[in-house]
Amino acid sequence: MSDEKKIEVEVAIDADAETVWRALTDGEELSRWFPLDARVKPGVGGSLWLSWGEGADWEAPIEVWEPNKHLRTVDTFEAQRIAVDYYIESRGGETVLRLVHSGFGDDTWQGEIDSLDAGWTTFLQNLKHYLEHHRGEPRTLAYFRHPKTALSRDEAFRRTMTALGFPAELDLRVDDRYATTTSSGDRFEGVVKVFRPPINFTATVKNWSDGFVLVEIEGGRETCRPAVWVSLYGDAGRDAEALGVRVRALLERAFA
């Protein structure tokens, strides 16, 4: 049995393989479920450029380009080769997308692996939700990434969720329904898709254009960074800027 550190995540999507492939390899489509902005140079030798703002962007060379079947991008960090493989397979009338993130060294911090695993699970759920409910619609993000804090991840997660109106003691499971109202009067209700405290809470937001919310505590060895991202589709996007301001105020109070 291999002891290689890697991440494997799978999702079944009610869409054909060509549609899923386009969502992975078209910049405009990528920006509707994954980063803030994206550009693609197609084919082997091309690249995927992804950006989350604030200088958090990178360009990964494409090593495998098999339309509707297999995409691989590769990054090299200090001679360490990190690959992300996307495998597409038709199964039972749906398209199954399997993601494998591999190449981590033995010294890779387990907290980083856990964060990436939760993150990829979230983004594949985002992709499924986008293609099944908002295909072709533009997305606008309401978000705020708080500066890094020396608080523990557990405390940062508790403060962030409490700021959003959740009780301090929270017990949720995937597919549970939830509803909460923040002190600023914003209500969020929907279905839980990922719940991995103190790293990640992801859910649909039915009352905000059937959007998606992600609460993420970005990890570090001695610090962490709380962030809230709300994906809004269609006309609801016009409220994104104001919602982002209110989310920022909630987090700034929670971590003052």
**Beta strand extents in 108-210 (DSSP E only):** 139-145, 177-181, 187-196, 200-205
CATH number of the structural domain 5-133: 3.30.530.20
pLDDT grade, residue 86 (50/70/90)?
A: very high
With a CB cutoff of 8 Å and minimum separation 6, the contacts of 195 are 172, 173, 174, 176, 201, 202
pLDDT grade, residue 3 (50/70/90)?
A: low
Region(s) of the chain under CATH 3.30.530.20? 5-133, 139-254
pLDDT at 2 over 70: no
Distance of CA 152 to the CA centre of its chain: 21
pLDDT at 1: 36
pLDDT single digits (tens) 17-65: 999 999 999 999 999 999 999 999 999 999 999 998 877 788 999 999 9
pLDDT at 177: 98
pLDDT grade, residue 239 (50/70/90)?
A: very high
- Mean pLDDT of the region 154-158: 97
pLDDT single digits (tens) 93-106: 999 999 999 998 77
Distance of CA 243 to the CA centre of its chain: 19
CATH 3.30.530.20 assigned to domain 139-254? The reply is yes
pLDDT grade, residue 151 (50/70/90)?
A: very high
pLDDT at 9 over 60: yes
- Higher pLDDT: 2 or 166? It is 166
Q: Write the burial class of residue 220 (CB in 10 Å: 0-12 exposed, 13-18 middle, 19+ buried).
A: middle
The Cβ of residue 127 has, within 10 Å, a number of other Cβ atoms equal to 23
